[in-house]
Each structure stands twice: as structure tokens, then as C-alpha cells.
Structure 1
Amino acid sequence: MINSIQYTQDTQEDLYNLLKILKLPVRILNNNMNYWFVRTESGKYYKDFLFNSYIAVGWNYINILSKDNDDEKTIKLIKEKYPDAIPGRVLNPIKRFCQEMQPGDLVIIPSTSSATFAFGIIKSDPYIETIKEQYVSDDLSVSCPYIKRRTVKWLSSLERHRLDPNLFQFFRAHQTISNATRYADYIDRTLNTLYIKNDIAHIILDVCTQKNIPANKLIKFISGLLNYLNKVTDDPTASNDIDIKLNVQSPDILEFIGSPIKIAIIALIFLFIVGGEAKFSKQGYDIEFSLKTQGLIEKGIQYYERVLKENIDPSELKDEIEQLKIKDPTGIPRV
């Protein structure tokens, strides 16, 4: 009887599909993506950007959409058109917007008082917009007059309290456009529960206890999850290369980092523990395993369920999960 999960490409694909059925899809992030923070004039243009799917930068007389640009001539034009401005403070954000940003990069914009932050993916090269009346949601919103624009596909928005605290200091920067790529790790784990980047996988578990974290409960939970990884793979060394990050600020998170297939197995183990057999009785799934037919999909689910049942006692870590208040990741709204 086969009672372990093997390390194969087909197994990895099946695990990803099973996790998608269980409402925890694996996201593949662009390794080369840059991250940008774009101000909205103290939130004045936030809703316009959001509802009309774009970002923009000011100084309409200065249009340098390509890298074939003479900085000296541009600075001369800035001095002519904006005599009260410091040329570098005009030129630098325009160059970032028009030349450094790329389609596929992630952009973040703040609302009024930075109460909410929207996250999106840049979809277009820079372009010049003919200003026309645009739809905004209410009378308090203002249409942006800036003509240098990029189309953005907004993913979602998060309230300030849901952001990683490491981002707060950066978001207080006053530049019109700031490169936030050095904060990529914090942004990625804020937006994603289970993701792969640079061929390394991450799963983020939210620890929501309001009390001091009991050391023995945390240690037992981590060691228990890693021991289960060893058991279901029938590999006593499987957990040796799994790294862990613990953020003890609010919100608290526990991050497991490792190879894509091992992190997928850890995710599956955790879902089995918090959901038990109910997780595997979902109907109406709309994707196919690599095994292709629906009959074999059901067999695949039964196979993984059997492996987990034979190796895991879901009640063993229940007390630790309840005391640490670790949330079921399928129920956490992320971007």
C-alpha cells in the first residue's frame, strides 16, 4: 500500500490543483517584478485612479515617454514652464514613471490619511491621455488632470491595520513616486498566503492570539507540522531545509519557506488538520488534475486523503492551533 507522497513533477501539479480546489491556490510571482509607491495628492485622486484603472504623474508640459531624452533640454523646459519648482524634483519622478516603471510591476497607492492602500499591476506603457469627464463614485472624489498615465489592473485594497508594520515607515516617504522593491518580501507576504517566487515557496499563517505567545505551544506546533511533513513523504530529512520566519508584531505571522512541493505538502497537512475530512468532500470543483478525467480527479483526492489519514492525527495539534488562534488560510481575504 502506498502511504506517502512522492517528490515528482506530476505529484506537484496534482498538489497545486488540489490546493486550488480547497480554496488555497498557489500564486506564481514574477521574479523580475519591481514595486512602486505612487502618491495620490493626499488621497485626492485615489478613487479616480482606482475606479478608472490608471495611475498618473503631474507636470503636464513635460512629456518624456521614452528613454531617448535629453535631460538638459528637459531641465531647461522645466525652468521655463515651472519657474518655482526645483528641476530635479520634477524630472526624477517623471523619469521613474515614464522610463523605469514597466508593465508587470506592482504599484501601491494610498487613500486619504493613508487609511487604505490599493494594490495593482501595471498593464501599459506610459501614454498621453486626452482629458475628458470620467466616472468617480461620489461628489467628494476629484478627477485627476494629469495626462501622463499608465493603465493599472487593480487587484484589491487593504486597510492600514492589515499591512505589515515594516511598511509603515516607507509609506511615510514624501516622494511622488518611490521604488519599494527593497520591501518586496513584506509586500509579498501581505498580499499572498501561498506563493512561489524565484523557485522558492512560502506559506503564510496568521497567528491571531492577543496574548503573549506561549513558547511551548508555538514550538510544538512548528515541530509537529514539520514532523508530519517527514511522515507523509516517508523522508526523515524532508524538513531539514525548511526555513521559518516569525513576525511578532501585529499582525503576527508564521512563514514557512522551502521547495515548492514541500511547502505545498505543508499547506495540505495544515488544511487537513484544521478542516479534517470536510475539506476533501467539496463538490463542484472546476479544474482538472494532471490525471485529466473527473473520475481520476476523485481518485486523486481519495489518494491524498488516505495518505494524510494514515500519517496524521488531526486532533494532535488542535490545542496549539486554538491557543495560538492560527486562522484557516482559506478564510483569510487577501488581495
Structure 2
Amino acid sequence: MTKGRSFKINLIEEIIKELPKVDSNINYWLVRTNGGEYYEEFVNENFIGIGWNKITRERIKDNISIEDLVRENYKKESRPRYVETQILRFIEGIKKGDVVLVPSKNSRYLHCGYVISDDYYEADLPINDESAFEQLFELEEEGICPYRKRKWVKWIKPLSKDQLDPKLYLLVYSHHTITSANDYKDLINRAMFDMYIQDEKCYATFQIERAENIEARSLVTFLNSLIEVNKIKSGKDDLEIKISVQSPGLTEIIDNLYNIVWTCVVILSIIGGKVKTPFFQFESGGVVGYIEKYIKERKNEGKVPDNIREDLKSSSEELKMTQPSEFVKAIEKVQKKEKVKEFENTGEQEEKND
């Protein structure tokens, strides 16, 4: 570390440690909640579930096909093979680490989370036989989920339908009990985390909050500025960019994780730390000051030309661009850890002096 610098850490590496990591080998699933009736219980009690209670674990172990068990126990069921497929998806297809989404009533929200158990458990609830009819009726009257087969979930966040990419609506409108959402995994990842790392690449999304029509000139200027800033670190003229041009919209940049994190650090120092979440918007002034100090100490390490700085600042203001919230949260965590370490070091030094 150069003498005179106040930063005793590698800020880029510390930010990378704090950013969400997404496994590229997991699967994604939409699990229905009976028209939203069991949505709150799924979320509040941290589970997902599926019905057909008479198909118990013990019966499945009897080496009888689930399709035959459905025919035996649900004689009025016209699609026993379909039921078998749904049950197998739940007990064998959905695995630990997979992402699941559950819709609220009218699919106003999708709650997303990670499955934290491979095996399923059977809740202590009736098995739908005639002797339990009254108890089941009471459960349904109270809005309590009667599904016995369940898996534990760690929920991440709710996603408002208004904030979702319109392409995700196709998934939401699927009426299967359990639907594979792998075709939408990039959209889901972006909705869950506006900045994350996957397979040594970093994905960062800037939100365009301009409510009026987006001017092409401002958008092109902003995109070109992103490419120029990234080029300072990467040395290349190309940058993978995905945009959603509706108003409001978004711009996602994808590249080597070190290049993207460095680029985001520089951008934050130029345009500020305004952050937008589904529920509120705020300006993270403390983070901006922290980053400006870091950049100032490294003025000769990839200086951004004045014309690029001005283009980036003016176009981001016109577009009302906001920072990835995960990026700002990562910096805040690094700040906190550094302060704790400084406090501990101060305490150790005082003890030595005593």
C-alpha cells in the first residue's frame, strides 16, 4: 500500500466478497399458492407445499407408481399422470439451492427465495380421508394451508408485478401447480439482485427512473459513457449491455467481475449514490464520500477524461439513473467492517501503550 493512503484494504476485492453470488447450476420454479390463498402462510412460515395428501411417503415407498396411487385414492381425478408429474417435480425435481417463486392473490407480488432442504417433510395434518372431513373444512375456513408435503425455504424478497419484466408475465400466467422457470432465469436473477456475480462475471443493473419518454440521445450518450469507463480498466472497446427501453426502464452491464465492480465504483463517484428499491428511494451520501475518497487517492489509476465524466453525469441526470442497490449495500458493509477493524486496532494499540 502506497504511503499516505488511508485505505488499508483492497476495496474492489472487499466489495466483491459482499455481492450476492448466484450458482449457474440451480433450477428455477414457480409454485402455485391456490390462487394466492396460501401465499402469506408460505412466506410467513418459510415453506412451499403441494397437496394430494393421500399420496404419502409410506405409500410412495411401496414401489407402486404415483400414477397408480392417484387412480386408487382420487378416483375422480381425470389426469392421474399429470398429478404424478407435479408430485415428482416437488419431491425430486425441486432441490436444495433452487430458486422458487410463489404468487400472491392476482399475482400482484411474486415472493422469491432459495430452497434449503433436499428432502420434503410431511406436516402433521389430516390425510383427506372421510374421518378428517370436519377438521379439513375448519382448516380451509381459517385459510390454513392443508398441504402435508412441504419443503423449507429461505425467502429473499417480494417482487412487485409493476417492477417485473413483461416477459415474466408468461410465467406468471402458467396454471400448472409447479412450473419450471429455467427459461426466465436471467430475468429472475436480475429481479432478485440488481447486482450479482455468476461464473466470474458480474451483472449490474442501473434503473432509469425518467417517467417521460426516454430521449435516444441521452440513452446513447449514457451507454457510450459506460463503454468508455469500462474500457479504462478492461482495455477493450466492447461491453455486454442489455436494456429495457420502456419508461421507466433499465440498463444492465455484464463483464469480468473486477471490471464491472471497478466501473461501478467510478460511476458512483461521478453521478452519486441515488438508489431505488421497489418500496423507497434514497441518496447514500456516506457511500459517495467514501468512494470519492478512494478515487481521489488513486487519481492516476485510470483517470476518466473530463468529457466522458460530463457526458456520464449529464445523461444520467436526464435519465434519472439510479445505482444498483446491492452495490451500495456491499460498500456499506465494507465500510462497517473497516470501522470495526479500526476500532479493534485502536483498542489493541491502547492496551500496548498501557
Q: TM-score range by the shorter chain?
A: 0.7 to 0.9
- Once the 2 structures are TM-superposed, how far is the Cα of residue 106 of structure 1 from its aligned partner? 0.5
Name the aligned partner's letter for residue 236 of structure 2: A
Q: Which has the higher contact order (CA 8 A, sep 6+)?
A: 1
Query: Are 1:281 and 2:289 an aligned pair?
Result: yes
More displaced stretch, 249-258 vs 40-49: 249-258
- Alpha carbons of 1:333 and 1:226: their partners in 2 closer, same or farther (altered >3 Å)? closer
- Alpha carbons of 1:29 and 1:167: their partners in 2 closer, same or farther (altered >3 Å)? same
Query: Are 1:17 and 2:14 an aligned pair?
Result: yes
TM-score (structure 2 length as normaliser): 0.74
Aligned to 1:294: none
- Report how many residues are paired: 295
- Matches of 1:79 and 1:29, distance apart in 2: 40
- Alpha carbons of 1:65 and 1:199: their partners in 2 closer, same or farther (altered >3 Å)? farther
- Once the 2 structures are TM-superposed, how far is the Cα of residue 252 of structure 1 from its aligned partner? 1.2
- Matches of 1:104 and 1:66, distance apart in 2: 27
| Contact 1:48–1:141, Cα closer than 8 Å, also in 2 | no
Query: Are 1:230 and 2:224 an aligned pair?
Result: no
- Alpha carbons of 1:15 and 1:89: their partners in 2 closer, same or farther (altered >3 Å)? same
Q: Matched residues, percent identical?
A: 29
- Once the 2 structures are TM-superposed, how far is the Cα of residue 63 of structure 1 from its aligned partner? 2.9
TM-score (structure 1 length as normaliser): 0.78
- Once the 2 structures are TM-superposed, how far is the Cα of residue 146 of structure 1 from its aligned partner? 0.9
- Alpha carbons of 1:302 and 1:201: their partners in 2 closer, same or farther (altered >3 Å)? closer
- Matches of 2:150 and 2:60, distance apart in 1: 16
| Contact 2:30–2:100, Cα closer than 8 Å, also in 1 | yes
Aligned to 1:255: 252
- Matches of 1:114 and 1:183, distance apart in 2: 17
Query: Are 1:243 and 2:237 an aligned pair?
Result: no
Q: Which has the higher helix share?
A: 2
Q: CA RMSD in A?
A: 3.4
Query: Are 1:129 and 2:123 an aligned pair?
Result: yes
Aligned to 1:76: 68
- Once the 2 structures are TM-superposed, how far is the Cα of residue 103 of structure 1 from its aligned partner? 0.5
Unaligned runs of 5+ in 2: 3-8, 127-139, 274-284, 330-354
- Matches of 2:11 and 2:328, distance apart in 1: 24
Aligned to 2:23: 30
Aligned to 1:327: 322
Larger Cα Rg: Structure 1 or Structure 2?
Answer: 2
| Contact 2:269–2:295, Cα closer than 8 Å, also in 1 | no
| Contact 1:37–1:177, Cα closer than 8 Å, also in 2 | yes
- Once the 2 structures are TM-superposed, how far is the Cα of residue 151 of structure 1 from its aligned partner? 0.5
- Matches of 1:302 and 1:263, distance apart in 2: 15
Name the aligned partner's letter for residue 247 of structure 1: S
- Matches of 2:320 and 2:201, distance apart in 1: 27
